[in-house]
Amino acid sequence: MSKFTPTSWLAGVSALALLAACSPTGDDGEDIAPTSSAATTADVTAAATETAEAAETESDRLNDWFEQVFEDGLNRYPQFQTYLGRKTNYGSWNNNSPEFAEETFRIGQENLAYMQANFDFDALDENAQLSWRLFEYDAERNELSWRWRDHGYTFTPRSGPHMNTPTFLINNHRVDTLEDAEAYIQRLNGMGDYLDQAIANSRRSFELGVFTPLWTYAPMIETSQNIITGAPFDDSGEDSPLMADIRGKVEALELEPAETERLISEAEAALTTVVGPAYQRIIALFEEQAAQATEDDGIWKHPDGGEYYNHLLNGYTTMDLSAEEIHQLGVQEVARIHGEMREIMSEVGFEGSLQDFFDFMRTDEQFYYPNTDEGRDRYLSEATALIDTMRETLPQMFHTFPEADLVVRRVEAFREASAGKAFYQRPAPNGTRPGVYYANLRDMADMPTYQMEALAYHEGIPGHHMQLAIMQELENVPSFRRFGGYTAYTEVWGLYTEYLPLEYGFYSDPYSNFGRLAMELWRACRLVVDTGLHYHQWSREEAVQYLLENTPNPEGDSRNAIDRYIVYPGQATAYKVGMLEILRLRGMAEEALGDAYDIRDFHDVVLTQGAMPMAVLEERVIDYIETNLH
């Protein structure tokens, strides 16, 4: 989890259910009795036109201001500029100093005060009012989060500057020109200062008593060592990840040989004199902290850890649920899904207990591809084919589609040992980079084929790619809404779209449907183990055993997942909590509208205004229902 996000200037979204936004805004029901029909009609028309123009003008003013705020904030973050496909400040890194974070926080609060003092909410159109509320929500949430700015982990085995910095260069820094290559080398030369800021942030948190468990340091050291293994750091015969990347990008430019040689020589110098020593300092930090770290896994051990955990739960779910309520919801959902799994056991004729069936699914060779390059290639090929087949059915589910392409890739070797099972990277808004579904194929025993279908739908289409690419491509909404987000909304959509294809004839293989249930079960178990770790003070091993006893996932998968929940407290609870909410809202719309209900319209309600807290989504669904009832 990041400490203070680079998008904190994007202040926007309200979790309150402000029902006024769902109320009719017109006066169609009023009976006007004019003394002179013609004159009064003209007067009313003129007044209505004047009112509409005033509302439009105020909305335009606010939207222009939102864009100014977004661009001003964006100018402060070179990496986010690169992520959006821009080549401004192309040789620079973000400023991660506490002074810069404090300045960013102050700017965000000043922006909120300016908006409230200089724009008239009642004069805005519906879309601009939603933007106001989202901006206000984010600013208020940032204010609540400021107290906890040093309570997040700077480095974890799954993320952090030691891992994200090379990943950023490899996946986001395009080299199309000589100047781009020089900017890449400039970034290599700036990595020392950038990583030193992260080291200082980690030390500050450690002094407060905030640090990851003892077991996390070995994998973090391994990942860091991987970055500086190979040429030009040693004579192993292969290039290190960054050397291989810059060499390949420079050679692809087909410059004069002397120019190519100069660039590669400068890159080697930057790597050996700046990057290598910086990573040695990071490794030394990890060794120093490991010597003092404890084996306690939950954030209950931190100063005010219980209060901080509640803050995280509220932020990730955008709902006001206690840790115990989430824990019990998880227990209930686990029991329900186990019942559906027993029905599939009966369908395939399996005799034995549910745990016996889990063991069968973990160990039978028919569900796993070989742990070879051929097995990995087959997995990627079939995952791509599943997504291609799904594309043909999308018009039955949706009116709106993304323009950006989607590709399936394997997680890079240097980070696969600590990366997650699967994840999605958004496309570049300017079309220079597609959306990417990353599959971690380090150990094929952790990627059973019976889960392949649901995983492809979640990370690809109709899952994250549909939601996030469409959001980035929205027109007539401020940029902060196109590029912001809420875990509850984003991951809820991913989990919901694992279930959605079932209604259209997918998961025809009962084992594949079992895989879908297994993934839903996984998210239900997350409610139990996340709160177990951080609220009930479970150990890492207790949480692992819960997953092994209650899910069919392999042991490696279970251990990897628990390691994730430990270092991202609360994040994993958003999925299942939100899925239940979106299904409740969909059911409410179906029941209220009857024959007038069209699932494609419902999906437009969910997708075509970007991410929002669950309470605001509920308002949009209520408004959709009321509009279609009349």
For 368-391, the pLDDT digits (tens) are 999 999 999 999 999 999 999 999
Evaluate whether 187 touches 92 at the Cβ level (below 8 Å).
yes
**418 vs 276 pLDDT, higher one:** 276
Residue 326 CA, chain-centre distance (Å), reads 21
- Candidate from 334-338, 476-480, 518-522, 538-542 with smallest mean pLDDT: 476-480
Longest dimension (CA), the chain: 96
Between the alpha carbon of residue 98 and those of residues 3, 147, 302, the distances in Å are 10, 13, 20
Residue 83 has pLDDT above 70, yes or no: yes
| Residues 432 and 512 reside in one and the same domain | yes
Q: What is the CA radius of gyration of the chain?
A: 26
Between the alpha carbon of residue 360 and those of residues 339, 357, 604, the distances in Å are 18, 5, 41
**Which two three-digit tokens encode residue 267?**
């890159």
Q: Output the CA angle 73-75-80, nearest 5 degrees.
A: 85
Residue 312 CA, chain-centre distance (Å), reads 15
Question: Cα-flanking dihedrals φ and ψ of residue 326, to 5°?
Answer: -65, -40
Q: Give the Cα separation of 304 and 607 in Å (integer).
A: 37
424 located within any domain? yes
Of 96, 114, 146, the residue that ends a domain is 146
Q: Over the chain, what is the mean pLDDT?
A: 90
| Residues 184 and 321 reside in one and the same domain | no
Residue 14 has pLDDT above 60, yes or no: no
111 located within any domain? yes
| Residues 337 and 213 reside in one and the same domain | no
Of 273, 302, 331, the residue that ends a domain is 302
Q: Give the model confidence (pLDDT) of 558-590 as tens digits.
A: 998 999 999 999 999 999 999 999 999 999 999
Mean pLDDT of 250-259: 97
Per-residue burial over 598-608, b = 16 or more CB atoms within 10 Å of its CB, e = otherwise: ebeebbbbbbe
| Residues 345 and 446 reside in one and the same domain | yes
Between the alpha carbon of residue 406 and those of residues 383, 402, 499, the distances in Å are 12, 10, 20
Indicate the pLDDT class of residue 280, thresholds 50, 70 and 90.
Answer: very high
Count of structural domains, the chain? 3
Residue 495 has pLDDT above 50, yes or no: yes
Residue 517 has pLDDT above 90, yes or no: yes
Indicate the pLDDT class of residue 430, thresholds 50, 70 and 90.
Answer: confident
Nearest alpha carbon to residue 553 among 359, 369, 413, 300: 359
| Residues 169 and 252 reside in one and the same domain | yes
| Residues 487 and 465 reside in one and the same domain | yes
Mean pLDDT of 416-433: 86
User: Residue 613 is inside which H or E element, if any?
Assistant: none
- Domain of 249, in residue numbers: 161-302
155 located within any domain? no
Mean pLDDT of 49-63: 70
Evaluate whether 435 touches 500 at the Cβ level (below 8 Å).
no
Evaluate whether 407 touches 469 at the Cβ level (below 8 Å).
no
Indicate the pLDDT class of residue 428, thresholds 50, 70 and 90.
Answer: confident
**Which two three-digit tokens encode residue 86?**
């821009």
| Residues 211 and 314 reside in one and the same domain | no
| Residues 365 and 490 reside in one and the same domain | yes
- The pLDDT of residue 56 is 55
In the chain, count H helices and then E strands. Answer: 25, 3
609 located within any domain? no
Q: Give the Cα separation of 538 and 586 in Å (integer).
A: 36
The one-character DSSP state at 467 is I
| Residues 291 and 331 reside in one and the same domain | no
Beta strands across the sheet bearing 422-425: 406-410, 435-439, 422-425
Q: What is the pTM of this model?
A: 0.83
